[in-house]
A and B are shown apart, each in its own frame.
Chain A
Amino acid sequence: MKTRFKKIISSLLLVIALNFILYGVAKAVTTSQNYYGITTAHAEKTIINGTPYWNAKLWSRSVSPAINMDDIGYSYWTVREKCGTTITNQVNLSGHVLHNTSLYYAAQTMTKRTCSGFRYGESLGNHDYYEYPYSHLYMYLNTGNVYIP
């Protein structure tokens, strides 16, 4: 009986996983760091494949416990497209933060460039956290090269 349930669960998980893969959640990367013992700074970047565009998304969060921070966001963010190793498009987003909140979210949509080889997307930059009287915490996070056919 247990084996049957396990099979059902595995099948359902596979269906859900395939849904996400087929609809293009290409890659998500996260990292966390303790912020002066008052909260955990959590950073996440994703690249989602679409047509004829792709998306880079960025989250900065305060968690465990979530606190409304004086500044939360990013200090710089670069989103780029490559054909093989040649960079064919790049957007540079200068720093942006929100005040008195525990969550920051931003998204950048890129239309796809011509590429007769392998097309990749990359999202990189520093997440920014600040709560008085402590110092700014800058956390670097890079998705690496994500295949976006």
Chain B
Amino acid sequence: MKKLKTLILLIVFVGLITSAVLVGRSQSAAAFGVGSSSQSFAAISTPSSEEGVNQKELLSKEIQDLFLAKEQELLKPGWLHIVYRTSLRKDVDRGFLTDGVPFPNEYIIEDWYLLDKESYVIKAVTFMRDLDENILQKSVFFDGTWMNTTLNDNMVTGAFKPLIDGGYMTMVLASDTALEKNYPSDINSNQDLTVYEIRAASPDGSSEIFATRLYFDSSGNFVKAVSVLVYKDGTEVVDSETEFLLTENVNDPSDAVMEYLDEVKK
């Protein structure tokens, strides 16, 4: 009995320490969101913590509404076609994708999803190409399984609906991130863009802040996502940039998709 009581005390102690550490971590992460805009962006407000929470709710809702409008337009029976170009930071060793083929710093991804009436994916194809249009990776999805035929990699994922938001809405809604809205004056474009910035403190306690910026044009189209490291002195390093080139829902996929599906007999 004495041992049992000691064990309980020990567990309570560990639980309290754990909670204290975790609460501390989430508070410090939230604190980075207050009034810390970067050099090239003008934040529209610098709210207090409480206002920050309300602002985050409002901004989250704004972003959610933008993505919901796109979902209603695009998630319907047919082939959902998404094309985007990604540039990764160049001063990083990326190793090789396959024997003799280095992992690219810049690439274009083309996703094709055949959707049913409930917007679930029946089959899908993903091509990764370099900028010279050479195919680097080919993947196909059917019967709840993804198969990368370039790398001979399989993965059972089960049924899913494609994320029009590219997986960024999860980041927007995460409790340990801050959210800001900015209007950049010039981002290599004459269009009026709105930028929502998701910010979080560095996980290792170093001076960086991790920020992901979501760019929307005046029609509400999600046009770009940029991940940056923001240092204490305000300098920034772009870790990656993804530009959305095309998002549409069409009746038929490209010839390349048909040929690939024939090749894998799906």
A-side interface residues toward B, CB under 8 Å? Answer: 2, 5, 8-9, 12-13, 15-16, 19-20, 23, 48, 50-53, 55, 78, 82-94, 107, 109, 111-120, 145, 149
CB within 8 A of A109: which of B166, B177, B203?
Answer: B203
Q: Give 8 new A-B contacts, CB below 8 A, not counting A51-B176, A117-B146.
A: A19-B19, A84-B126, A84-B139, A88-B109, A109-B203, A109-B204, A116-B164, A118-B146
B60 contacts partner chain A, Cβ-Cβ < 8 Å: no
Q: Among A83, A116, A117, A149, which residue has the most Cβ atoms of chain B within 10 A?
A: A116
CB within 8 A of A114: which of B22, B167, B174?
Answer: B167
Q: Are A149 and B84 in contact (CB under 8 A)?
A: no
CB within 8 A of A51: which of B22, B198, B229?
Answer: B198
Taking CB as reference atom, which chain A residue is nearest B19?
Answer: A19
Taking CB as reference atom, which chain B residue is nearest A85?
Answer: B148
Query: How far, in whole Å, are A92 and B105 apart by their CA atoms in the complex?
Result: 13
Chain B residues in 8 Å Cβ range of A9: 7-8, 11
Q: Are A51 and B12 in contact (CB under 8 A)?
A: no
Q: Are B170 and A51 in contact (CB under 8 A)?
A: yes
B97 contacts partner chain A, Cβ-Cβ < 8 Å: yes
Query: How far, in whole Å, are A3 and B163 apart by their CA atoms in the complex?
Result: 46
CB within 8 A of A23: which of B25, B96, B103?
Answer: B25
Q: Are B137 and A86 in contact (CB under 8 A)?
A: yes
Q: Are A78 and B166 in contact (CB under 8 A)?
A: no
Query: How far, in whole Å, are A129 and B95 apart by their CA atoms in the complex?
Result: 23
Query: How far, in whole Å, are A109 and B92 apart by their CA atoms in the complex?
Result: 12
Interface of A is mostly: mixed
Which bucket holds chain B's interface residue count? 35 or more
Closest chain-B Cβ to A95's Cβ sits at a distance in Å of 12
Bitwise interface map of B from 1 to 38 toward A, beta carbon under 8 Å scored 1, else 0:
00010011001101100110010011000000000000
CB within 8 A of A13: which of B11, B22, B174, B198?
Answer: B11
Chain B residues in 8 Å Cβ range of A87: 97, 103, 128, 137, 151
CB within 8 A of B239: which of A55, A93, A111?
Answer: A111
CB within 8 A of B14: which of A16, A52, A85?
Answer: A16
Query: How far, in whole Å, are A92 and B227 apart by their CA atoms in the complex?
Result: 19
Bitwise interface map of B from 130 to 168 toward A, beta carbon under 8 Å scored 1, else 0:
000000010101000011100101110100101110111
Q: Are A90 and B94 in contact (CB under 8 A)?
A: yes
Taking CB as reference atom, which chain B residue is nearest A50?
Answer: B203
B119 contacts partner chain A, Cβ-Cβ < 8 Å: no
Closest chain-B Cβ to A41's Cβ sits at a distance in Å of 25
Taking CB as reference atom, which chain B residue is nearest A1?
Answer: B1
B193 contacts partner chain A, Cβ-Cβ < 8 Å: no
Query: How far, in whole Å, are A111 and B124 apart by their CA atoms in the complex?
Result: 25
Chain B residues in 8 Å Cβ range of A107: 203-204
B225 contacts partner chain A, Cβ-Cβ < 8 Å: yes
Taking CB as reference atom, which chain A residue is nearest B152?
Answer: A85
Q: Are B95 and A90 in contact (CB under 8 A)?
A: yes
CB contacts under 8 Å to A, within B169-207, are 170-171, 174, 176-177, 198, 200, 202-204
Closest chain-A Cβ to B68's Cβ sits at a distance in Å of 15
Chain B residues in 8 Å Cβ range of A113: 86, 240, 242
Query: How far, in whole Å, are A2 and B12 apart by their CA atoms in the complex?
Result: 17
Chain B residues in 8 Å Cβ range of A50: 176, 200, 203
Closest chain-A Cβ to B158's Cβ sits at a distance in Å of 9
Query: How far, in whole Å, are A6 and B151 apart by their CA atoms in the complex?
Result: 49
A-B pairs, top 6 by smallest CB distance, nearest first, are A92-B95, A85-B148, A111-B227, A51-B174, A114-B166, A84-B146
Query: How far, in whole Å, are A52 and B113 apart by their CA atoms in the complex?
Result: 25
